[in-house]
Structure 1
């Protein structure tokens, strides 16, 4: 017979009540950080942007002749590679392209909230100079000027002369950079023209884009959904065809998730291959102390060849001359272009931590079929202990109890998207095991793991985490080697684009991307399909609160873009991009959001 010990029940209720009391006190305390000064500063910055925007619109409409609609319709959906071919064929001028994309970016920026600072006037002046110098420029070899005349958008983290690198932090407004960061400098030297900067999440640690100054960025495919993050402004602007190439950063999926959510291509290089000099850091003094899980700069675009153009532009002698910390590994074009060697590729449609939605599963299976038709051997690969990967990733990045993260706000109120992580990080150490036990008993084992992971650590415990991370990576690599696997195909995320604010819970679906940050693998995303009518559903074996939120995301998701992820061993960036290119050519995803087609720059 089952007996209830009411004393135990009362004690449990008392503990739970205490936890909620602590939560309330901490929430109130957190609210005290937010001062009127930050609101005023954010308002002033936004007002200055909007005032300049009106001036820019007048310049674009009145100071220069707007190219014809026929030319606009010819240009707006071209890749960077196709634009370069058009320049050579004299199909259009550099200023035509910059002018049209400036008007599109301005219009799309208003509709999606994707952009921060705009430099269309400077960009069109530069393009006019290129038009005048075109005869001279055409004598330069492709290898010298890989991106001549191509407009590029830049994440609001990468230093650009005269622009803030705010990273969604209000305190970073009105602190313009005095020079271009090295990554941007390298692209400009290849002829690229930076013309607009894109929005990001406050301090950039969740897959969404929202901050006090510029507000929330919406997904161009569905305004009720997020564009992802933290390079979400890039994803939204590129998805709506407001930019040709974008530069973002990735520490857990911040390039790949926006690419997946917005139907574009994105690539995270091997950490240590591309410089991070001149990249803003959302920490005090622009320096981060945690270096075991490293952010990397990478491109987003409309084709794999476009991503390769950026990689080749980065991998120049000047980068290694200025950043001695890097491995000097030039671009290996023969590996990227090789089609004779057939590879053995592993794939998985779901992991044991977060079940992928039906559309994400189908996308992987479509990619598997395509690769088999191309002659590759594709075998199932079962990722092991993904819950361990999530725990390690979260524990390492939050090992200081997110204290340095909070200090970087410089007193600004924490964005509400971080509420759950903040509260979990503030649970007293002595209560944490008990709360995890209670969560597990009531069927919330995944929430229990997150709560267990985000608390502050002692030095010994942190070093143990790093040791465990290295062992985990060794086991993963050994498993791939034992199965003779060259690359892995997987979902880019467990879900299509979330509805706004759900990233505070559904960041758990990012296990598919963060694993490759933990492993230091290069990884990229290729758009392959959209959600079908019969795929607007979700279920898993957990049946917990995350399951319910995931099901709500899949409802009414028909038409949302879905990508697949390709990942490979460290330093095998060219091989990853090769398979991305083969998938692109075989599947030929061509769909655009309605917004991209409906943009009218002539009224």
Structure 2
């Protein structure tokens, strides 16, 4: 087996060769932090391609279905913009433009011959996190040890998306092991935030977040076991959805990340109506429910009552997060829950052994920190500090999780006496993190997202504003919960976080995806009306 650094060099060379050489541009210097405008000014995309890549998913699907735009030209436009995005923020892993264009041409030919679309996502380019297998491609997932391992079949979700007419065209960067809320590995390196490249794009779906923020993809698929869809969506100013899952443990679930809420709905409706439970025994048998989307269980949207969770009783959010909550409260009706260690105990059961076995093939080091320089791994977060727990203890933790879910259910039901609507609280609006996108290596707290994974509640991310150094100045010290709360407080500097997107999440009950999407649309429309 070649030394792991040789494998990395060879893989990086293959990646470079997969990029059409006439799509290479001269990126701005590292001192240019905000690169969001660069794709439209670099000269690579023509006016029509800029228009295509600035179009929402809903409108894209309409124009593709009417043949106003062909799948080939839409795929070409997003492929070019994705390549530009990659040169700016290092967001891609697998690039397979020729394969995507061949698929797009087949779709155009089918539409021309039959006058019908292949499916509800006909011609839509879709990017995928480097966790989702595509036949004939490597799925490295941040591990040097998985270079050269080619998938012999598609993941079920890829088959479903293709059946729906989508065009997979790139895959995106992740952290080694996936278990980080940032995106860095020894194969592809670090993905940065296009709004401020000194900040992280989040993780573990950080490549997706950065790519979509630069409009290099209209819709991407991330996965979420503790916030890996929601954190990068929040840090990059996107819409995203962590769907429910019914399983006993805490699995990773796939969900959409996009620049429009219409994209979230289009993805979810297309995938669930494709009956994925006939292809995957773990998929929930649940079609898209239009009554639920119309909020039949929530008074059909009349007099909605939202609970506002200002902080989680552990870490107080930074001023921009507080301001975004105030903005949202003012725009919508107002009606939090607690976190627990259950999620991390389940995660950590056996994970050190998993990491060790996987990396031992090539001898690549297990990354202990996302810091730019060497930091103390003991305070870097997100790596188990012991060997995990026994199977017996894992069973006890899972039993505790079930009890906690019952307690939260009872608490939610009891709010009916406080809302004034005769119903329990319709949804919870809360931070996605106590901060916006942090400097690299500083995102060390994910409980604002992990609690909902443990409870199996669907949660949607929506943008509210951006950091404003005038409006979001440092506040006087509060009564700190502990030293870590103080550490987060002292991290804040409005200039350091300049221009970062500020997003929140809306949380509903298990398997209420349609209602969560609709309520997020209502909140988003209310926010838009106040701008």
- Alpha-carbon distance between aligned partners in 1 of 2:246 and 2:212, rounded to the nearest angstrom: 26
Residue 337 of structure 2 corresponds to 383
Structure 2 residue 243 is matched with structure 1 residue 269: yes
Among 472, 487, 494, the residue aligned to 1:548: 487
Structure 2 residue 357 is matched with structure 1 residue 407: yes
Name the SS of the counterpart of 1:315 in structure 2.
Answer: helix
The alpha-carbon deviation at position 480 of structure 1 amounts to 1.0
The alpha-carbon deviation at position 569 of structure 1 amounts to 1.1
Residue 310 of structure 1 corresponds to 267
Structure 2 residue 518 is matched with structure 1 residue 578: yes
- TM (normalized to structure 2)? 0.86
Residue 92 of structure 1 corresponds to 69
What are the Cα deviations for residues 579-601 of structure 1, in whole angstroms up to 9, with x where unaligned?
A: 1111222323999xxxxxxxxxx
What are the Cα deviations for residues 273-309 of structure 1, in whole angstroms up to 9, with x where unaligned?
A: 9xxxxxxxxxxxxxxxxx6111101111111221111
- Asked if structure 2 preserves the Cα contact closer than 8 Å seen for 1:67 and 1:100, the reply is no
The alpha-carbon deviation at position 131 of structure 1 amounts to 2.9
- Asked if structure 2 preserves the Cα contact closer than 8 Å seen for 1:228 and 1:257, the reply is yes
Q: How does 1:591-602 map to 2 (within 5 A)?
A: none
Q: How does 1:513-592 map to 2 (within 5 A)?
A: 513-533=449-469, 534-537=471-474, 539-540=477-478, 541-542=480-481, 544=483, 547-556=486-495, 557-588=497-528
The alpha-carbon deviation at position 241 of structure 1 amounts to 0.7
- Asked if structure 1 preserves the Cα contact closer than 8 Å seen for 2:123 and 2:167, the reply is yes
Residue 438 of structure 1 corresponds to none
The alpha-carbon deviation at position 461 of structure 1 amounts to 3.3
Structure 2 residue 152 is matched with structure 1 residue 195: no
Residue 108 of structure 2 corresponds to 131
Structure 2 residue 361 is matched with structure 1 residue 395: no
- Alpha-carbon distance between aligned partners in 1 of 2:343 and 2:430, rounded to the nearest angstrom: 19
Q: How does 1:165-564 map to 2 (within 5 A)?
A: 165-272=139-246, 292-316=249-273, 318-338=275-295, 339-372=300-333, 378-379=334-335, 382-384=336-338, 386=339, 389=340, 391-400=341-350, 402-410=352-360, 411-417=363-369, 456-483=388-415, 484-503=424-443, 506=444, 508=445, 510-533=446-469, 534-537=471-474, 539-540=477-478, 541-542=480-481, 544=483, 547-556=486-495, 557-564=497-504
- Asked if structure 2 preserves the Cα contact closer than 8 Å seen for 1:495 and 1:550, the reply is no
Name the SS of the counterpart of 2:18 in structure 1.
Answer: helix
Residue 146 of structure 1 corresponds to 120
- Asked if structure 1 preserves the Cα contact closer than 8 Å seen for 2:467 and 2:501, the reply is yes
- Alpha-carbon distance between aligned partners in 2 of 1:449 and 1:213, rounded to the nearest angstrom: 21
List runs of 5+ in structure 1 lacking aligned partners: 1-34, 59-65, 274-290, 373-377, 425-446, 592-603
Q: Structure 1 residues 364 and 329 mapped into 2: Cα distance closer, same or farther (>3 Å)?
A: same
What are the Cα deviations for residues 66-122 of structure 1, in whole angstroms up to 9, with x where unaligned?
A: 997221232221111111122345443222211111111111111110001111112
The alpha-carbon deviation at position 573 of structure 1 amounts to 1.0
The alpha-carbon deviation at position 536 of structure 1 amounts to 4.4
Q: Structure 1 residues 345 and 168 mapped into 2: Cα distance closer, same or farther (>3 Å)?
A: same
Which structure features the higher share of helix residues? 1
- Asked if structure 1 preserves the Cα contact closer than 8 Å seen for 2:127 and 2:208, the reply is yes
- Alpha-carbon distance between aligned partners in 1 of 2:351 and 2:174, rounded to the nearest angstrom: 23
Structure 2 residue 55 is matched with structure 1 residue 78: yes
- Alpha-carbon distance between aligned partners in 2 of 1:448 and 1:412, rounded to the nearest angstrom: 19
Name the SS of the counterpart of 1:526 in structure 2.
Answer: strand
The alpha-carbon deviation at position 127 of structure 1 amounts to 2.2
Residue 441 of structure 1 corresponds to none
Residue 600 of structure 1 corresponds to none
Name the SS of the counterpart of 2:507 in structure 1.
Answer: strand
Name the SS of the counterpart of 2:60 in structure 1.
Answer: helix
- Larger gyration radius, structure 1 or structure 2: 1
- TM (normalized to structure 1)? 0.76
* Mean Cα deviation higher: 186-195 or 334-343: 334-343
- Asked if structure 2 preserves the Cα contact closer than 8 Å seen for 1:527 and 1:589, the reply is no
The alpha-carbon deviation at position 152 of structure 1 amounts to 0.6
* Mean Cα deviation higher: 151-160 or 124-133: 124-133
